[in-house]
Amino acid sequence: MGIKIVIVEDNPMLRENLELMLVGEPGFTVTASFATGEETLEELDSVPYDLLLADIGLPGMSGIDLISQIKTERPDLDILVHTVFDNRDTVFSALKAGASGYILKGATPRELVEAIRGLAAGGAPMSPKIARAVINEFQDNTVDEPFLLTSREKEILKGMEQGYTYKELGKILFISPHTIHSHIKKIYEKLHAKNRKDALSKARKKGII
């Protein structure tokens, strides 16, 4: 059974090259190609498709917004990002929006074809550089983070969140303001935080409070 592909790429020469390359591949059909996200949304319902090959640096609507909107309507759709952008925020925004694969431009035609086949077969193909970034992200945010602070440090952090002073926290927890200060210093070190606001923000992100 063939794979019906829709291409979204604003560079006309690259778009044409992608069409020619994919049409020549056994089992692939390019059912449409679009230059913008707006055009894609307008015309997509009129063509059959199994897989979207999309750039994210598009004029007008970004490719990430496009992916997000399409996935709302077609949550089961396979979307492969094909882009030059390899920075962390863009990669994770695209994956969170609903992309299932992420291939950098500069990949060989064979690598791109294999990525499309892999995605259609239920995989999550990524350029090695992107796969490494994803792995690093998970290693940086280990599952032990909610247990990063001691129960006493968590109590103090929650008190800070409620706006208590060192002195007030000391009275509530029956310890001296000096001890509170020592705990807060350790909290900042563990969270790599610069100040109270930074510590609270990082603790929330890590699921500690």
* pLDDT block averages, 10 residues each, the chain of length 209: 93 96 95 97 94 95 95 94 92 94 96 96 95 81 65 92 92 92 92 92 86
Residue 173 carries which side chain, given as an amino acid letter? L
Picking from 11, 57, 9, the residue whose alpha carbon sits closest to that of residue 30 is 9
pLDDT at site 21: 95
Long-range Cβ contacts of 117-121 (<8 Å, 24+ apart): 117/3, 119/51, 119/78, 119/80, 120/3, 120/50, 120/51, 120/78
Query: Which pLDDT score, from 0 to 100, does residue 148 have?
Result: 80
Architecture of domain 145-205: Orthogonal Bundle (1.10)
Domain spans, the chain: 3-140, 145-205
Number of alpha carbons in the 13 Å side-chain half-sphere of residue 116: 28
Residue 78 and residue 98 in contact, taking contact as beta carbons nearer than 8 Å: no
Query: Would you say the CATH fold of 145-205 matches that of 3-140?
Result: no
Q: What is the CATH number of domain 3-140?
A: 3.40.50.2300
